[in-house]
Structure 1
Amino acid sequence: MQISVTVMAVPARKLQAEYLASILRLYPFSDVSVTYDQIAAGTHESEWNNGANSLRAGLGKGDWHVVIQDDAILTPNFYENIEGAINAVPTKSIISLYTGKARPFPVRVTEAVSKVVDETFLQYMLLMWGVGIVIPTKHIEPLLDFVADWSEPYDTRIGIFYQRNRLPVYYTMPSLVDHDDDMGTAIPGHGTKPGARVAHRLATGPVIWNDRVINI
């Protein structure tokens, strides 16, 4: 199995993005790249443009593609835990590496997390966060074609594709990435109060996955 990865970045965070890429190059990914906004940053349009290019960066590079946003913090054993999650996930579908405590459904998500006993997956019909995702490479072109004319944000568009194709969105539990909350958000008005954009239950080492699923 080959897994590629790209860092989805804005030019203002070039230093952080290149540093993140340098860490990712220490792992056996089939390809590591950084994709920057090509239009004015700070809007949903620019976010989608960059997100689409970040997804395209995985074409022809492997079986699965990882997109990591530039404000992500990696957890230990990052590659091995992604590989394990891919092998354990019940259905070949998109995997979110982040489960957040803030928007859009903090109470509902917290209740689902409280039911977790062993390392497993949460499941929902949409993608709630785009901090880190793992997508089957074969899904990239159909996804981009399907949502090309939509106006929703990056993570929402991706989630709509999976919802319409009746495929679940899985969330690793524990989370394999966290937000660097000190950076804030690149989209004005799209944030929450400081300290809120953090993950539930971060991985601290190798994860032994099982295929149980808890619905959000």
Structure 2
Amino acid sequence: MSAKDLDKYARQQLQGLPEKLAERAARHLVMAGLLIGSDPETAYRHALAARARASRNGIIREACGETAYAAGKFAEALSELRAARRMNGQLLYAAMMADCERALGRPEKALAYDTPDIRSHLDDAGQVELSIVVAGARRDLGQAEAALRLLENESLHSKSREEWVARLRYAYADTLLDLGRVEEAAEWFHRVVAVDGNRITDAEERLAALG
């Protein structure tokens, strides 16, 4: 495994480190990226190994946060992503941070991430991801109608095949079901299946359960 396998942006973020240190940290980040989908616990350990060598580097702290999140370590993920934000000012992980608050039983804190300033730093996909999390927080607070309205303001009818479309439609279908609108929920679960070629959701199983 070589540091050259790390993407260009991440390599640039390591340039302030001594060469040998940057090389070692980069190798750990490469492994973390390779393993995050299949073995997030090991990916997290690689990110921590990089942090042990350069704890004040923003891209390394982002990697720690992302892998901790994937491993279900939500308090650790939130701490790491906050540290990364202090170092580099990035708000790209706002949806992930908000979701950590939800997972920690603090939906009202998740809502605090839905601000014009934060949204101005997100691309279209990032804004949708934030809306999905905030809608979930609304449902946690018993505000399903408000959650539905929020999701309806997003691009539910997008022709894109990006994964965020499937996640958005899934959240919408699930919210409809929460409100007892079963036929509409089934229709939207079908629309999830239509764009979910990578099976990132369990929409097919949800449809089967609905009969």
Report the TM-score, using the length of structure 2 for normalisation. 0.27
Larger % of helix: which? Answer: 2
Q: Which has the larger radius of gyration?
A: 2
Report 1 or 2 for greater relative contact order, CA contacts < 8 Å, sequence distance ≥ 6.
1
Larger % of strand: which? Answer: 1
